[in-house]
């Protein structure tokens, strides 16, 4: 008897789409496995936990600069979720070999290259989950905190792109070798590169060829001055991902025009993106950075609160109330005659590296000339980072120095240590700084610990890059003793003896007797 098999009507059309539907079905199953894998869950919890803990442990996170945190989010995602995609994707490809079912897989409908494609597609939901996490973090910071600036969408997309890249690498490693150890080793090499590459390339453009992208600016920078080639780097990462994916399906046995075209497009994206991101900033960007750095008054919005004028760059004006709290805490402790001094607090930023023609002294001179031209001579500087004890102590000390001496800190030509203030004036600067609040007192302690061993005393910064006011160790010791005494007693002595304490000839020992604290063992000649 002869049996003839016939196809039902409509079956050929259905069969034509069967491989594609099978690939998508397998990709859905593998994506669920990947998302619920313990490594993925642990990485997600660690990533979210690190962001939440930073809110409580790092003061500056409560005053975030969004155009800086978008890069920070991308790096964290690459290390944790990207590492999870690398390991879990590799384990998924090796599952048949680990379970001893390689022979059975040969009789399945899907060939090796189709299953490889399904494993590659399974990484997409994990990258999408990473994108949701990043957007949620930025939204929470923008809504719940006085955030400065706004994130770069391309910079935010780099994190999910690195998840795709490392997931594709895990799949490729699974096709190249049967060892499950190679994927963790590859992740270890990546983490080592994060530590080694930056000092090796001295923060140069070559860092953009690494997944984490180029170096960050030395201090938070206004959005208009960032000029980071994030879009080019995103295209570069997606091109690398395409190359790894094409290599994986080729290794699995795929051939044909579509694979060749996909590989060629990926190579073109990699080369184009890599070349574009290595190009130096344009002359217009460099000129704009120099103008904002040396002439900040022309690029700021000013706001007057009481007798103090605050000037901030676009996007940073939400920090003015916090600055005012610190300034008023210092002003409240000086006599009425000193409070009449008109104060201006102006934000500063340093974007360009110092060269032979421009150093700290020259930059401070440019700021002084800019303040005079703007009608706000002897303005107090504040940086583009806020929220921690150091920044609070720096601003409080700059204001105290202005009220005590009538001047602002300025580095001497060729000297990076800043202006040294000795005697009673130095004691007052430190005491006024420390009594501002617990955060300022913590910052004062940290700044003093940083200076220990290099230069006795404590240095205060107008920006985060170089000091402008230095108080020697003897004056710091007297002020520290005064801060440990009842505040009301020391405050009364300060108001009563303000003229004597601020006189140029008053020594630290004399200031100690006036304040009723132990005199220093030695004093510094200024």
**Concatenated DSSP letters of 321-370:** HHHHHHHHHHHTTS-HHHHTS-EEEEE----SPPBTTB-HHHHHHHHHHH
> Would you say how long the chain is, in residues?
526
Q: Chunked in runs of 10, what are the mean pLDDT values of the chain (526 residues)?
A: 46 55 90 95 94 80 88 89 95 76 55 90 96 93 90 94 96 90 90 74 69 79 86 94 95 88 94 89 85 92 91 94 95 86 90 60 85 91 91 94 83 58 94 94 90 76 82 92 94 93 91 91 64
Distance in angstroms between the alpha carbons of the first and the last residue of the chain: 115
Q: How far apart are CA 425 and CA 417, in angstroms?
A: 18
Strand arrangement, sheet containing 343-347: 300-305, 308-313, 343-347, 380-382
What does pTM read for this prediction? 0.85
pLDDT of residue 417: 58
The H or E element that residue 459 is part of is strand 458-461
Q: Which token pair is 37?
A: 């894998």
Tell me which residue of 348, 232, 225 sits closest to 287, measured CA to CA. 225
Please state, in angstroms and as integers, the Cα–Cα distance from residue 192 to each residue in 47, 206, 210, 216, 407, following that order: 19, 16, 12, 18, 48
pLDDT of residue 7: 47
Alpha-carbon torsion 375, 376, 382, 387, what sign? negative
pLDDT of residue 312: 95
pLDDT of residue 414: 40
pLDDT of residue 200: 64
Q: Which token pair is 513?
A: 């007797």
Alpha-helical segments (H) within 145-256: 153-176, 182-200, 230-251
């Amino acid at each position: 008897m002869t049996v003839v098999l016939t196809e039902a009507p409509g079956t050929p059309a259905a069969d034509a789409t069967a491989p594609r539907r099978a690939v998508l079905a397998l990709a859905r199953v593998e994506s669920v496995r990947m998302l619920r894998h313990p490594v993925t869950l642990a990485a997600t919890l660690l990533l979210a936990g690190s962001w939440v803990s930073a809110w409580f442990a790092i003061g500056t996170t409560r005053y975030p600069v969004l155009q800086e945190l978008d890069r920070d989010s991308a790096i964290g995602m690459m290390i944790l979720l990207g590492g999870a995609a690398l390991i879990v994707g590799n384990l998924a490809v090796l599952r048949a070999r680990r379970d001893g079912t390689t022979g059975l897989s040969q009789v399945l409908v899907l060939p090796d290259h189709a299953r490889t494609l399904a494993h590659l597609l399974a990484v997409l939901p994990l990258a999408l989950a990473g994108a949701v996490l990043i957007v949620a973090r930025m939204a929470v910071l923008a809504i719940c905190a006085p955030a400065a600036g706004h994130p770069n969408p391309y910079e935010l997309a780099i994190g999910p792109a690195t998840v795709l890249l490392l997931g594709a690498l895990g799949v490729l490693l699974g096709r190249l070798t049967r060892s499950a150890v190679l994927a963790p080793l590859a992740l270890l090499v990546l983490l080592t590169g994060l530590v080694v590459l930056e000092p090796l390339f001295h923060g140069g453009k070559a860092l953009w060829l690494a997944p984490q992208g180029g170096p960050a600016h030395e201090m938070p920078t206004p959005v208009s001055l960032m000029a980071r080639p994030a879009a080019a780097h995103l295209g570069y990462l997606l091109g690398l991902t395409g190359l790894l994916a094409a290599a994986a399906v080729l290794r699995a046995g795929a051939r044909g025009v579509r694979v060749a075209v996909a590989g060629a497009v990926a190579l073109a994206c990699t080369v184009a993106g890599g070349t574009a991101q290595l190009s130096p900033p344009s002359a217009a960007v460099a000129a704009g950075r120099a103008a904002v750095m040396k002439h900040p008054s022309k690029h700021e919005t000013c706001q007057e609160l009481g007798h103090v004028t605050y000037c901030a760059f676009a996007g940073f004006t939400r920090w003015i109330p916090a600055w005012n709290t610190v300034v008023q805490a210092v002003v409240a402790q000086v006599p009425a005659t000193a409070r009449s001094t008109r104060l201006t607090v102006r934000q500063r930023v340093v974007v360009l590296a110092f060269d032979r023609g421009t150093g700290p002294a020259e930059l401070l001179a440019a700021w002084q000339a800019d303040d005079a031209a703007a009608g706000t001579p002897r303005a107090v500087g504040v940086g583009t980072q806020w929220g921690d004890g150091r920044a609070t102590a720096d601003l409080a000390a700059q204001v105290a120095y202005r009220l005590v001496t009538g001047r602002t800190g300025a580095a001497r030509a060729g000297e990076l240590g800043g202006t040294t203030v000795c005697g009673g004036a130095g004691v007052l600067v430190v005491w006024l700084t420390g009594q501002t609040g617990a955060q300022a007192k913590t910052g004062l302690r940290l700044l003093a610990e940083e200076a220990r061993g290099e230069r006795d005393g404590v240095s205060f910064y107008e920006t985060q890059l170089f000091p402008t006011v230095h108080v020697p160790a003897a004056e710091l010791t007297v002020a520290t003793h005064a801060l440990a005494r009842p505040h009301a007693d020391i405050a009364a002595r300060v108001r009563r003896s303000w003229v004597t304490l601020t006189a140029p000839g008053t020594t630290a020992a004399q200031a100690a007797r006036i304040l009723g604290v132990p005199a220093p063992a030695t004093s510094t000649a200024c």
